[in-house]
């Protein structure tokens, strides 16, 4: 990933068959992404209250990793399955199909 010209606008550079995607991140999300890009950081945590962009940033990171490291696997979890289905997965799929243009069963599998 390369940073965009604006502090809050990041450029997600994905594999060659996918278009570049610009994504506007909140200031704290931008800070977390900068840590993600750091070669010194080996683990990254991102927490906070509702509405802080945790699901959005986590979805973008998960998709970025999956697209840049083919064959990688990941997991998304919530304390309650109901919350996972109603909020987290809804946001993830909206970002995957809307921003990244990915199609279920063709570009990714949901198990």
Mean pLDDT of the chain: 80
Helix (H, G, I), strand (E, B) or coil at 101: coil
The mean per-residue pLDDT over the stretch 56-81 comes to: 88
- Asked if the model's pLDDT at residue 4 lies above 70, the reply is no
Tell me the pTM. 0.75
Report residue 62 CA to chain centroid gap.
5
Q: Of 64, 26, 65, whose CA–CA distance to 46 is shortest? A: 26
Spatial separation of the C-alpha atoms in residues 22 and 3, rounded to whole Å: 10
pLDDT tens digits, 14-54: 443 555 667 788 899 999 999 998 899 888 888 888 888 99
């Amino acid at each position: 990933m390369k940073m965009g010209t604006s502090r809050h606008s990041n450029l997600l550079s994905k594999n060659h068959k996918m278009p570049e995607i610009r994504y506007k991140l909140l200031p704290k999300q931008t800070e977390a992404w900068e840590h993600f890009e750091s070669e010194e950081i080996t683990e990254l945590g991102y927490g906070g209250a509702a509405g802080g962009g945790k699901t959005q940033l986590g979805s973008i990171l998960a998709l970025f990793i999956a697209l840049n490291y083919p064959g990688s696997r990941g997991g998304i979890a919530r304390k309650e399955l109901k919350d996972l289905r109603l909020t987290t997965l809804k946001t993830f799929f909206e970002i995957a199909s809307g921003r990244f243009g990915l199609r279920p069963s063709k570009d990714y599998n949901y198990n």
